Structure 1
Amino acid sequence: MSRWTKVRRDVVLAAGRMTMMVAAIAAGVTGVGAVLAADGILSREISRNYLSTTPASATLELDRVDDALLEQVRRRPGVLDAEARASISVRMRIGPDRFRPLLLFVVPDFDAMRMATFTRESGAWPPPQGTMLIERAAREMVPRGPVQVVVPGRAARTLTVSGTVHDPALAPAWQERAGYGYITRQTYAWLSGSAVLDQLKIRTATPAVTAREVASWLAAQGRQVHEVQVPPTGRHPHQTQMESVMLMLLIFAGLGLVLAAVLVATVIGGLLAQQVRQIGVMKAIGARTRQVAGMYAAQVLLLGVAATVAAVPLSAWAGRAYAGVVAELLNLDLASAAIPLRVPLIQIAAGVLVPLLVAAVPIRRAARITVREAIGDYGVRQETVSARLKGLNRTLLMALRNAFRRPGRLVLTLGLLAAGGALFLTGLNVAAGWQRNIDEGLAARHYDLDVRLVTADPALAERLRRVPGVRRIEEWGYAPTSASDVVTTYPDGGHGSFALRGVPEATTMVDFAVESGRWLRPGDTDAVVINSLARNPLPDTEVGDALTLKVDGRATTWRVVGTVREVGSPAAAYVTRSAFEQRVGPARDLRIATNDAPAVQRALADSPVEAATVSTAELRAAVDGHIYVLITALIALAVLMALVGLLGLAAATGTGVVERTREFAVMRAIGATPRTVINVVLGETVFIGLLSWVLSALLAVPLSLAVGRVLGDLAFRTPLPLTISPLALGLWALAAVAGSALAGTAPATRAARLTVREALAYV
């Protein structure tokens, strides 16, 4: 029982350092638990939300779908159900001279939906003619009151918002910078002049196979099949993004737990160094190595248990809160905030075992010391490399020598603080790299508006050239395309889309960075250049390969001559406009560079053929909206890691001060003032803080490269550029100096208050 009494006594006497260790372990376990809890909740709820809509397995875009065709399709082998729908893309006025895309989904019977469903939240059901229900996440995208919409080829109409619905199968409207509306077939006819439904939605157990078979059968029946869309089965448009984000956050949180464990090893190592003679005495009176090791291991075990007890409820709260924020951003309803049982079990194992495993090394080394070695131990080293330092202020010289007295502890402390700082710098570097990537990507676009037309209209381009403020207009080719019989496009028409674009030979509108091969040249008749996101539908395509792209059911073959880095656009393949017009059709896309975008918008308001307008400003907002949650969480975890590092410095400094208690007594006895003692201790900690800043900056470079590669591939299929943030370096320099000074303040003050008698009586 005496050794357990000693354990309790050690904990009480080193209460400050023990509290730091508990706080550090709790921070690490909380980070891991919060990420795991949020991931467990979101993974379950995103699937539940998406599947609750009974999403269509495939959507076939045809010339028309009537009741007779529906009945025939429902009887086809492998088809479980079929419904007819339609959608129309219009422009809605959001200001005197501003417009925004509005995607309207046409539902023939709101009460008989069996797939691609949504739920009513407010308003009339179904919406009366001339009104629309909007998706609840689109409320900030759609203006209040009557909404004026411009339909291609028709006069402007005014729709009234009659209520809201929840459609979790769609990406949030605020991220896409567009509105989502739901209208009846009667309203559709009133808007467009036609009530023809042109989308065939089917449910099947084998989506791609059955969709191809149905498409072939329809073609044999004389029906024109424009596109076959088969989105990933059972997966929300942003599910892959969310999973990748959570994996990255978990890696950062795991590194935080490792840092906390290293802190424990550092402090326990210092405590053991302080108690070498006590260990020698215990061994001299019969204690075995296993008993000594078990005694100190029990201390670490108690610390881990205490930290885990504090971390589990805190991480549960943080995980639920973060899941709630992400759910709101992804437009999900959380039916349950229950955390999977595996999460607290992993936390318990991590909080108890990881610190114990890391601390096992110094515990084993100390427990195996012999009685002779223990009695002969004289404490801290007297001769170190710092002894060669000459010509420095005496107080500063003592501070530097103290820092190097325990090289092993210095390495651990520096490693701990540098790792925390490196993670902090990495978080801010990645955020800066993201912004730089967007800035460079948008700088490669030398236009302000992208106007997509339903049909080619050269007269429109000529009219727009006369609009004041318009500097240049280029006519581009545009056509949805696919590399196979099916595309992975979602119902919103954006996620998973792939387009073939015809570029004017002398274009000045884009200046993409070429990653491999070359850009298009005048006279190219079969050359194609693909952008970064084209690696999704074309994962194995290389420069020199032949590439077959289908446009409106017709196959066109091209030769890949290059790849370019493009930010902010879906997958695209670029060919010369002359080749596009020869093999696909006339140009029907306008790129406009203007000093007065509202004036162009006013001119477009009267156009009978304009279909959609995207401004570079809206594009930037859409790109930023997809990832800022990750950047924010990454920076928050980075700050947490930096705090763990500063706790490690405080704990190591406290241990060093205790070890040098008698030395401080001698200093006081020969005339040193309390201020001198404080300056020596603070000089040591500030020096370590500055040294860690240098190491952090160096370590952050490969870390920023690695994280930027993962994040860039996730968002753009191209790595983020390595960006060293001056702001991050400045903040961490300030944090390292101020934090290290703060970490040394308490032990320095304690050392300065010791009287000579108290210090000499220290055992």
Structure 2
Amino acid sequence: MSGYYWFSPRWRKVWSDLGGNKMRTVLVVLSIAVGVFAVGMVYSSYLMFQRDLSVSWRSASPASASLFADPFNEELVQSIRSLRSVKEAEGRRNVNLRVLTADGQWRQMALIAIPDYVKQKVNVVRHIAGAWPPGDGDVLLERSSLKAMGISQGSRILVETSLGHKRSLKVTGVVYDPSQTPSLFSGSFYGYISMDTLAKLDESRRLDQINLVVQPWVLQGQDTAPIAAVGRQAWRKLEQGNTTVSWLQVNKPGEHQMQGAINALLLLLAVLGVLSLMLGTFLLANTVSSILTQQVRQVGIMKSIGAQRDQILRMYLTLVGAYGLLAFVVAVPLGALAARAVTGFMAGMFNFDAGELEVPARVVALELAVAILVPLAAALWPVWRGTGITVREALTDYGIGGVEAQGRLDHWVDRGLERLRGLPRPVLLSLRNTFRRKGRLALTLLTLTVAGTVFMAVFSVRSSLYSTLDQALDYFHYDISVELAQSYQKNRIDQELLQVPGVKAVECWGRTSGRVLADDRPEAKTEASKNVFILAPPPDTRMIQPRVIAGRWLLPGDESALVVNTTMLKDSPQLKVGGPAFIMVGDRKLRFTVVGIVQGILTGPIVYAPYQWLTGAVQEAGRARSVQVITDSAAPLEQSSIGRNLEEHLKKDGLRVQNVEITWEQKKRIRSQFDIITVFLLLMAVLLAVVGALGLTGAMGINVLERTREIGVMRAIGASSLDIGKVFLVEALCTGFLSWLLGTILALPVAFLLSRQVGVLFLQNPLEFSFSFLGVGIWLGLSALLSVLASLLPARNAARISVRSALNYE
């Protein structure tokens, strides 16, 4: 302690301010640390995402493009590999079937057969544990599916083939496939088998997918057009081999398949960091201003004995810098640990490998700059204003002087309080004190209002996400959708399904895929074209309720009519109502007339054509590949049971079923994906609420110090400790209520803009906006709770002040 006296008096004062009021120091340090923590967490997370995601993605030698088709032989893979623009090509076989999970539910599963696991060169599946490669009758589970299925290595799984035969497969290992969408998002499980196992699953030893990598000289930065051109060449090669291609998937060079969703979450985290930093800055400015208000007399005494303004200015700025350094020491390790936790969570969610914890020098440098420079900038004006007071003004200051009603707002408050004379005196005093320091009130309200606005906006985003999902699924008015592996006679399907108990109505659709051509020129077949799914419902369908935004829906008797959705228009803007559309289906070029445009939501590029005309044009007249079912029960579990029964019935009758989708289960799965977004948004709101609560606590603490003499007067005229504590509690509640009111007003436009941006980032379409009054009610309760908690310690301190201590206060 002896070293303390080696400092000059001004620096001893700085040290005394730091240690003399430990609660104030903690509040100031926390207010700065929250912003530094958020910035460090976001920037570190971003750098670790880029590092780990890039390493995981590159390790798989990802495909430039993938083609999905009807089963074909290995010779076609070799023909595509021989193309000049193709560096490497490999084939796979995908088998969609049902698997019995640990909870007794039958779920969708994709089993992938790879001809040679040892010599993989494209979309490499990496061995993690257990056997390698899979043996005949064995399966290796993708790691994102292992935990979701509740299956352990060494156990057996029961699967049901497309013909209804049940087979038992032994789980002999675990693998990692970066090219697969994680089970959390896809709702499907992934397993890897040998080509020999295909026969046990009632499948032929053939391929149905080709993954190819283009030559380096083909690539032009991030442009996918050159890759798509090579993909169309491969498409034509497959068609020349009498194979129908259903889809061409083109990947952006060097970009993870879920990069868009990851970038959106990173953007939300960045917004969190910026808002936290801004509110921490406002809180610091408020606190520094309050400190100077409390120390007005000290400033006057220093000036009276010769201190210059610049000396006092440096002293207080040094104090702020010391606060910043303490915040830096607290925030850096916490930010690094939080970044590691966020990266680990994201790695598990998006299925990539998380690397070791790393704190790059540039992150530390940024945190140091934020901890020192931002607080100094925020404190500069309050310190400059506070140190400009004259000696006379400082020595005649009594804390409550100079705050008498002066402005129009003060007169409005006084008039309003005059009409509330029935309220208890402590409550009236609290209401008046709320507006006593309007500058401090504004900064306190700002932090709480922003927190409340974000919180309520998050609930509205959640409500909008659910509303969009409901609208998307209500687009299709059926309970169960069945996709068949091949086309069957419509009359046979109808007859079989109507025999299943619980099935109320059945509707068969045609289904195929093709490429939309730019025009009718012969060379358009080789030019840029876009994938499209073609659905062919009956024109008088009851299973779909499209939202027509231009033109009309299909009518009975229509021939070559086409209705396109808005998602399709993004890829093919040349399609206009009344204009032609040319679609290649296999080796057939079909000409349509666009009669309508409908809203597309969560459906991808889809066009609709009349069932009778399209099935005739593709030589599948009277046949169907897709069936929509309405059940006679609205109970979700009952619908799932009916779906299971009709799948078994079709398989027993020899119809190969590719997939059965229960609408309510699909909605539940997508909602769980949406919840990931709202969790991140709520994280933002909670952190901002913490900043707001700190601000309110600091403001109430300073109010107690400023009104020490006023508290003594109240004590002298008989006020109890409860009455004094109630004054500050009600004042905090008033501030909380005002912040809730302002936040509610601001939440509507902010929620609208945020919902729109989240929709564009995650779904490529603005969300169907729905304002959440539930969020408004929850934040009202939370703001009241935060106000009470923030006032407890200041109210307790105020209630413990004695008359003698109050009247001796300087």
Shared fold (TM-score, shorter chain, > 0.5)? yes
In structure 2, the partner of 1:10 is: 17
Following superposition, the deviation at residue 11 of structure 1 comes to 2.7
The amino acid across from 2:597 in the alignment is G
The amino acid across from 1:276 in the alignment is V
Contact 1:41 1:339 in 2 (8 A): no
From 526, 535, 542, the counterpart of 1:501:
535
The amino acid across from 1:738 in the alignment is L
Contact 2:755 2:769 in 1 (8 A): yes
Residues 66 and 504 from structure 1, CA distance in 2 versus in 1: closer, same or farther, beyond 3 angstroms? closer
Residues 10 and 330 from structure 1, CA distance in 2 versus in 1: closer, same or farther, beyond 3 angstroms? same
Contact 1:100 1:613 in 2 (8 A): no
In structure 2, the partner of 1:118 is: 125
> What does residue range 667-706 of structure 1 map to in structure 2 within 5 Å?
667-706=714-753
> What does residue range 192-591 of structure 1 map to in structure 2 within 5 Å?
192=202, 194-204=204-214, 205=216, 206=218, 207-215=227-235, 227-371=247-391, 373-374=393-394, 379-380=399-400, 381-383=403-405, 384-385=410-411, 386-388=413-415, 389-390=417-418, 391=421, 392-457=423-488, 458=490, 459-483=492-516, 498-514=532-548, 519-525=553-559, 527-531=561-565, 533-534=567-568, 537-538=571-572, 547-552=581-586, 554-556=588-590, 557-559=592-594, 561-567=596-602, 569-584=603-618, 586=620, 587-591=624-628
Residue deviations 1:679-718 (CA, integer Å, cap 9, x gap):
2222211111111111122222222222211222233333
Contact 1:433 1:720 in 2 (8 A): yes
In structure 2, the partner of 1:642 is: 689
Q: Distance in 2 between matches of 1:240 and 1:222?
A: 36
Following superposition, the deviation at residue 398 of structure 1 comes to 1.2
Contact 2:97 2:159 in 1 (8 A): no
Following superposition, the deviation at residue 605 of structure 1 comes to 3.0
SS of 1:454's equivalent in the other structure is strand
Contact 1:136 1:165 in 2 (8 A): yes
Residues 512 and 642 from structure 1, CA distance in 2 versus in 1: closer, same or farther, beyond 3 angstroms? farther
Following superposition, the deviation at residue 462 of structure 1 comes to 1.9
SS of 1:475's equivalent in the other structure is strand
Residues 40 and 96 from structure 1, CA distance in 2 versus in 1: closer, same or farther, beyond 3 angstroms? closer
Residue 623 of structure 2 corresponds to residue 592 of structure 1: no
Residues 235 and 299 from structure 1, CA distance in 2 versus in 1: closer, same or farther, beyond 3 angstroms? same
SS of 2:372's equivalent in the other structure is helix
Q: Distance in 2 between matches of 1:373 and 1:2?
A: 23
Following superposition, the deviation at residue 498 of structure 1 comes to 4.6
Following superposition, the deviation at residue 12 of structure 1 comes to 3.2
The amino acid across from 1:643 in the alignment is V
Following superposition, the deviation at residue 519 of structure 1 comes to 4.4
Following superposition, the deviation at residue 255 of structure 1 comes to 0.6
Residue 184 of structure 2 corresponds to residue 138 of structure 1: no
Deviates more, 1:33-42 or 1:263-272: 33-42
The amino acid across from 1:452 in the alignment is E
> What does residue range 598-677 of structure 1 map to in structure 2 within 5 Å?
598-606=644-652, 607-677=654-724
Identity of paired residues, percent?
A: 34
Contact 2:647 2:657 in 1 (8 A): no
Residue 134 of structure 2 corresponds to residue 127 of structure 1: yes
Deviates more, 1:631-640 or 1:685-694: 631-640
Residue deviations 1:159-203 (CA, integer Å, cap 9, x gap):
443333211221112431222222222222454453233444322
Q: Distance in 2 between matches of 1:356 and 1:545?
A: 64
From 154, 172, 181, the counterpart of 1:162:
172
Residue deviations 1:93-152 (CA, integer Å, cap 9, x gap):
559996433323221122221222112234433322233322222233487624233236
When the two chains are superposed, the root-mean-square deviation of aligned CA atoms in Å is 3.1
In structure 2, the partner of 1:180 is: 190
Residues 356 and 97 from structure 1, CA distance in 2 versus in 1: closer, same or farther, beyond 3 angstroms? closer
The amino acid across from 1:429 in the alignment is S
Q: Distance in 2 between matches of 1:337 and 1:549?
A: 52
The amino acid across from 1:89 in the alignment is N
From 36, 51, 55, the counterpart of 2:62:
55
Contact 1:177 1:621 in 2 (8 A): no
Contact 2:76 2:238 in 1 (8 A): no
The amino acid across from 1:271 in the alignment is I
In structure 1, the partner of 2:524 is: none
What TM-score, normalized to structure 1? 0.90
Contact 1:54 1:115 in 2 (8 A): yes
Residue deviations 1:251-283 (CA, integer Å, cap 9, x gap):
023212211111111111112222334334434
Following superposition, the deviation at residue 565 of structure 1 comes to 4.6
In structure 2, the partner of 1:78 is: 85
SS of 1:129's equivalent in the other structure is coil
Contact 1:423 1:642 in 2 (8 A): no
Following superposition, the deviation at residue 469 of structure 1 comes to 0.8
Following superposition, the deviation at residue 674 of structure 1 comes to 2.4
Residues 69 and 340 from structure 1, CA distance in 2 versus in 1: closer, same or farther, beyond 3 angstroms? same
Residues 540 and 100 from structure 1, CA distance in 2 versus in 1: closer, same or farther, beyond 3 angstroms? farther
Following superposition, the deviation at residue 372 of structure 1 comes to 5.2
SS of 1:421's equivalent in the other structure is helix
SS of 2:207's equivalent in the other structure is coil
Q: Distance in 2 between matches of 1:542 and 1:377?
A: 76
The amino acid across from 1:274 in the alignment is Q
The amino acid across from 1:480 in the alignment is S
- Structure 1 unaligned residues grouped into runs of 5+: 486-495
Contact 2:239 2:586 in 1 (8 A): no
Contact 1:31 1:637 in 2 (8 A): no
The amino acid across from 2:404 in the alignment is Q
Q: Distance in 2 between matches of 1:535 and 1:134?
A: 39
In structure 2, the partner of 1:488 is: none
In structure 2, the partner of 1:490 is: none
Q: Distance in 1 between matches of 2:104 and 2:497?
A: 15
Contact 1:185 1:195 in 2 (8 A): yes
Residue 160 of structure 2 corresponds to residue 149 of structure 1: yes
Contact 1:60 1:225 in 2 (8 A): yes
In structure 2, the partner of 1:489 is: none
Deviates more, 1:638-647 or 1:223-232: 223-232
Following superposition, the deviation at residue 287 of structure 1 comes to 3.3
In structure 2, the partner of 1:493 is: none
The amino acid across from 2:784 in the alignment is V
SS of 1:455's equivalent in the other structure is strand
Q: Distance in 1 between matches of 2:508 and 2:676?
A: 37
What TM-score, normalized to structure 2? 0.85
The amino acid across from 2:19 in the alignment is V
Contact 2:158 2:166 in 1 (8 A): no
